């Protein structure tokens, strides 16, 4: 390579003083480079390569990190898109349900109002016909009277007046009409927002919009009652205590399961017996087991399933004979509670030990089984690999079959509600007192200690996948949305602690800690 400054002279070195400027022999003796330091091209090239190798490693690390960040962000974007689609689909589904329900009730109300108005119209038409006939008679009578008054022949006046019939001038009263009430109220937008999974901020926007809504008077009133608040009990209706009975003098009712014809299966704490009972406490049927069982779920009117604690199996009860057989073994794990899906699959909570010490080898799980006992899925860890459960006990499935609920006991005093999807991925945890943690957030169930003691003794799903919970320390029965929003208190602080509950049609059965069962009806 020739020198740029001295053409025809080859490059022989580089001036390190001048930022590695390439030089020839003439350049090295030039005044411009007087006193400068020169280096051999080979050595300088080796030094440059050494520096570049270090930079190459840094670039590789940076490239790897950027790729990881890119993949993670793409994954998050995909998750957001999926969440958006899911929420939009859910809202559209709820909107269709809401519109369908409104149309149905509107049709019923219109039919009622049409029937009432038609009845009133029939009464009024009868009155119109009667008055019209009488009006014709009055006009005819009046003409006869006027004719006689104008008659000049006295004999004709006498004879025609004798023919003149007396007329009943009494006027009938107006008919009694049915009173038709139509009360216009306001939409409870907060409840509607909760039904659609709205946040507090969204609800505030709705409330602000409601204050300026020019058609607010055409909407439904909380006080007059609306079935479209996404709750169990419509505002304006109430839970009325229908019956109370003492089921046991020595033990409290721990498990409840709907039976046939409005009856409910009950099991007391530590009991090896389940009883089918009506709402007045009359026992219709009893089934006795030879070992301890826990949890009851109905498959059909003639078949129940329960968990065998000591035998570590799932047991079937055939009705009406009461014959008990083992369906399948749960191996080395102790079954706790279970629920069934319409397809016949079972979701069962199981644990290897009944303590609160969770190690790497601990198995505290929710398992999906086929009706024959073949394992189809297992929930043990969350997305981050942290344990889902410490002691998973009660387990329920929503009416739609889309949400699974598990009570997770973190110590002897506290538990919280874990909600999962049907693919056994975590949706959220409801920690109590209005606090919820999404499945995306970091949460260590093994070390969690709430600021205030909180324990849900039992829960059940109801309409719109809302959840009724019986909380131990407050002794309240409350309504919770599937998104972990506390909607309202159904029953305020009770004298005795509610320990078990179920919904049987429009009746709520609650077992309290003195062996008493209370049955409420929604009216």
In angstroms, the CA 248 to CA 251 distance is 6
Ordered mean pLDDT values, 10 residues apiece, the chain (523 residues): 85 85 84 84 85 87 88 88 86 86 82 75 81 86 88 86 73 67 62 61 45 33 32 53 93 93 93 95 95 93 94 96 96 95 93 94 96 95 94 94 95 96 95 91 92 95 88 94 87 92 93 92 79
CATH architecture of 239-522: 6 Propeller (2.120)
For residue 151, the model assigns a pLDDT of 86
DSSP string, 456-490: EEEEEE-GGG-EEEEETTTTEEEEE-TTS-EEEEE
- Both tokens of 27, joined, read 């350049």
Residues of the chain with CATH 2.120.10.30: 239-522
Taking CA atoms, 446 is separated from 390, 399, 424, in Å, by: 6, 30, 19
Angle between helices 154-163 and 41-150 (to 10 degrees): 130
For residue 179, the model assigns a pLDDT of 67
CB 457 within 8 A of CB 436: no
For residue 183, the model assigns a pLDDT of 60
For residue 50, the model assigns a pLDDT of 86
- Both tokens of 462, joined, read 């109801």
CB 487 within 8 A of CB 188: no
For residue 216, the model assigns a pLDDT of 32
Task: Write the CB contacts of 458 (distance below 8 Å, at least 6 apart in sequence).
Answer: 256, 394, 469, 470, 498, 499, 500, 501
Q: What are phi and psi of 246, to 5 degrees?
A: -95, 110
For residue 388, the model assigns a pLDDT of 97
What is the distance of C-alpha 353 from the center of its chain? 31
């Amino acid at each position: 390579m020739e020198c740029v400054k001295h053409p025809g002279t080859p490059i022989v070195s580089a001036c390190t003083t001048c930022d590695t400027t390439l030089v020839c022999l003439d350049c090295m003796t030039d005044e411009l480079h007087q006193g400068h330091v020169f280096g051999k091209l080979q050595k300088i090239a080796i030094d440059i390569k050494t520096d570049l190798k270090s930079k190459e490693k840094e670039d590789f690390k940076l490239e790897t990190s950027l790729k990881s960040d890119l993949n993670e962000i793409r994954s998050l974007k995909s998750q957001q898109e999926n969440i958006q689609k899911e929420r939009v689909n859910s809202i559209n589904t709820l909107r269709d349900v809401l519109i369908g329900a409104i149309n149905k009730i509107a049709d019923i109300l219109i039919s009622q109002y049409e029937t009432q108005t038609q009845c009133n119209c029939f009464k009024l038409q009868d009155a119109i016909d009667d008055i019209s006939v009488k009006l014709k008679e009055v006009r005819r009578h009046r003409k006869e009277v006027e004719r006689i008054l104008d008659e000049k022949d006295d004999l004709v006046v006498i004879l025609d007046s004798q023919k003149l019939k007396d007329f009943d001038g009494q006027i009938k009263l107006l008919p009694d009409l049915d009173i038709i009430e139509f009360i216009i109220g306001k939409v409870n937008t907060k409840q509607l927002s909760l039904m659609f999974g709205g946040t507090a901020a969204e609800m505030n926007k709705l409330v602000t919009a409601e204050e300026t809504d020019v058609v607010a008077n055409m909407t439904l009133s909380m006080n007059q009652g609306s079935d479209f608040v996404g709750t169990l009990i419509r505002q304006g209706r109430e839970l009325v205590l229908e019956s109370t009975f003492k089921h046991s003098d020595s033990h409290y009712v721990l498990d409840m399961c709907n039976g046939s014809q409005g009856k409910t299966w009950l099991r007391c704490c530590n009991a090896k017996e389940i009883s089918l009972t009506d709402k007045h406490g009359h026992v219709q049927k009893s089934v006795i087991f030879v070992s301890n069982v826990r949890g009851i779920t109905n498959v059909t009117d003639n078949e129940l399933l329960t968990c065998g604690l000591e035998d570590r199996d799932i047991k079937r009860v055939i009705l009406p004979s009461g014959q008990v057989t083992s369906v399948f073994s749960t191996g080395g794990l102790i079954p706790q509670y279970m629920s069934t899906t319409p397809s016949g699959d079972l979701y069962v909570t199981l644990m290897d030990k009944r303590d609160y010490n969770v190690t790497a080898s601990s198995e505290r799980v929710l398992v999906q089984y086929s009706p024959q006992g073949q394992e189809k899925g297992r929930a043990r860890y969350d997305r981050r690999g942290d344990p889902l459960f410490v002691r998973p006990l009660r387990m329920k499935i929503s009416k739609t079959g889309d949400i699974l609920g598990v009570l997770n006991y973190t110590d002897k005093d506290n538990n919280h509600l874990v909600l999962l999807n049907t693919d056994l991925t975590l949706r959220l945890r409801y920690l109590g007192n209005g606090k919820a943690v999404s499945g995306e957030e970091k949460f260590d169930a093994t070390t969690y200690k709430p600021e205030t003691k909180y324990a849900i003794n039992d829960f059940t799903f109801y309409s719109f996948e809302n959840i009724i919970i019986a909380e131990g320390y407050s002794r309240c029965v409350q309504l919770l949305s599937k998104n972990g929003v506390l909607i309202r208190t159904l029953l305020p602080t009770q004298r005795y602690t509610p320990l078990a509950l179920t919904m049987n049609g429009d009746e709520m059965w609650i077992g309290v800690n003195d062996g008493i069962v209370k049955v409420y009806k929604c009216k």
